[in-house]
């Protein structure tokens, strides 16, 4: 019985500390300033550890708005952009300093963080 109580207490601790948040990895390839349609909306939940693994056909600087993370992606190498999704909402990722992206004003991708 004591063991059961201890187990329940540790479970409660795990939940309140957010230990059940997911670790999510997304592999995203940029070509000609665009990414695959299926990667343009990324949905995660509050508290998740999110890892975006970028490759690009040319060097770009990515900017994740809201979290305000900037990351230079070199051509031909994987660049990781990691963050914990502590803030809920809708956050665009843009390519900075690219005149002719061919994608107009649309962001490269959008991350939606839902409340847990």
**Residues at the site binding Cu ion, with contacts judged by CB under 5 A:** 63, 94
Tell the smallest beta-carbon distance from residue 92 to Cu ion (Å): 7
Tell the smallest beta-carbon distance from residue 29 to Cu ion (Å): 20
Nearest Cα residue to 112 out of 73, 61, 66, 78: 66
- In the bound state with Cu ion, the residue whose beta carbon lies nearer, of 50 and 63, is 63
Distance CA 71, CA 96 (A): 10
Tell the smallest beta-carbon distance from residue 38 to Cu ion (Å): 23
Distance CA 48, CA 98 (A): 30
């Amino acid at each position: 019985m004591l063991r059961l109580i201890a187990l329940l207490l540790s479970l409660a601790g795990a939940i309140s500390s957010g230990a059940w948040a997911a670790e999510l990895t997304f592999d995203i390839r940029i070509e000609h300033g665009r990414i695959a349609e299926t990667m343009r909306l990324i949905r995660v939940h509050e508290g998740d550890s999110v890892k975006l693994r970028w490759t690009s056909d040319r060097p770009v600087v990515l900017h994740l708005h809201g979290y305000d993370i900037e990351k230079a992606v070199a051509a031909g190498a994987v660049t990781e952009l990691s963050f914990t999704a502590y803030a809920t909402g809708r956050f665009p990722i843009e390519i900075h300093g690219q005149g002719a992206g061919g994608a107009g004003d649309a962001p490269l991708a959008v991350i939606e963080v839902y409340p847990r």
